[in-house]
Amino acid sequence: MNCEQIQPLLEAHHDGELDAANTLAIEHHLADCPQCFARLRNLGDLRTRLGNDALRYRAPEGLKGKIRAAVESAAKAEQPATPTRVFWARHGWSAAAAALVAAFVLVQVHPGRQDDVLLAELTSSHVRSLMVNHLTDVPSSDQHTVKPWFDGKLDFAPPVKELRDSGFPLVGGRLDYIAGRPVAALIYARQKHFINLFIWPSAPGVSDPSASARNGYHLVHWTNRGMTFWAVSDLNEKELMDFAGLWPAEP
């Protein structure tokens, strides 16, 4: 591939949207081409600047209350003409909101649901963490430093283990946002490779590690201890499955 052929693919590569073959071809080219490498670096710089949290607006505190009031008055005003309206009118906002939230949550953390969007999100998150130099929020190889760091930042306590003796030293932890919720990301190293282990609560139940791949990255998913786990890395599938094997369900 030459520079001209690379151009249309460079941004897709930057966005973690390329298949393995093209990714390899691009990386090959980047190794020898300072111009294209600089372009990619500029894209990374732009992403870093856009990634500043101050640029993301949060819904004002009062908005939830306003929405609640609007829904309640709409429910009162409407004549119960259809079964749906009867439902909203009778049960009001709280039931409607509960149904909506329950549906959102169920869809998001249903174990074993390996939908494409989630895989893409996990992979881009992994790639982004390596690309923008934001691998860890709390760089530490000590599980007793990393675990308490998550306290108060998440509404659950992710399990944190030091796995140096098994060849996967803990590098640190990071807050991330996957499937529309804040999640814990633990970072482990394997020689020159990094593993992002994403953890969030799921319905009780146990599922064994299962592997998939996307854009040349491997993903292994399992569920136990009421948590769902996703390990993402450019490590080969076997080693990533070995890593998953270090997180057995508790007896």
Partner 1 sequence: MLPHLDAAFNLARWLTGDERDAEDVTQEACMRALKFFPGFRGGNPRGWFLTIVRRTCWSWLERERGRREDLEFDEELHGGADLSGSPEELLLRQADIEAVHQAIAELPPEYREVVILRELEGCAYKEIADITGIPTGTVMSRLSRARRQLQITLSTHPSRGGHS
Binding site for partner 1 (CB under 8 A): 11-12, 15, 17, 41-43, 45-52, 54-60, 63-64, 66-68, 70-71, 74, 84, 88, 96-97, 99-101, 103-105, 107-108, 115-117, 120-121, 124-125, 128, 177, 179-181
- Give dist(CA 33, CA 30) in Å, integer: 5
Closest approach, Cβ 38 to partner 1, in A, equals: 9
Coil/strand/helix, residue 130: helix
Question: What are the distances in angstroms from CA 187 to CA 9, 130, 160, 221, 248?
Answer: 28, 11, 10, 16, 18
Count CB neighbours of 119 within 10 A.
19
Backbone angles phi, psi at 170, to 5 degrees: -70, 130
CB of 191 to partner 1, least distance (A): 27
Shortest Å, Cβ 239 to partner 1: 26
Beta-carbon neighbour count of residue 97 at 10 Å? 15
Cα separation, 35 vs 47, in Å, equals 19
Smallest separation (angstroms) from partner 1 to the CB of 179? 8
Give 91 or 161: the residue with its C-beta nearer to partner 1.
91
The H or E element spanning position 34 is helix 34-50
Q: Tokens standing for 61?
A: 């505190």
Q: Which two tokens stand for residue 74?
A: 């709409």
Q: Compare residues 176 and 243 and give the one whose CB is closer to partner 1.
A: 176
Cβ proximity to partner 1, 91 vs 193, nearer residue: 91
Kind plus residue range of the DSSP H or E element containing 200: strand 193-201
Cβ nearer to partner 1, comparing 24 with 95:
95
Closer residue to partner 1, CB minimum distance, 33 or 241? 33
Q: How far is CA 197 from CA 25, 42, 158, 222, in A?
A: 27, 28, 11, 11
Nearest distance from C-beta of residue 46 to partner 1, angstroms:
6
Of 25 and 43, the one with the shorter C-beta distance to partner 1 is 43
Kindly tell me which of 17 and 137 has the beta carbon lying closer to partner 1.
17
State the nearest-atom distance from the C-beta of 232 to partner 1, in Å.
Answer: 14
Q: How far apart are CB 138 and partner 1 at their closest, in Å?
A: 20
Tokens, residue 43: 């894209």
Helices and strands (DSSP H and E) totals, the chain: 8, 7
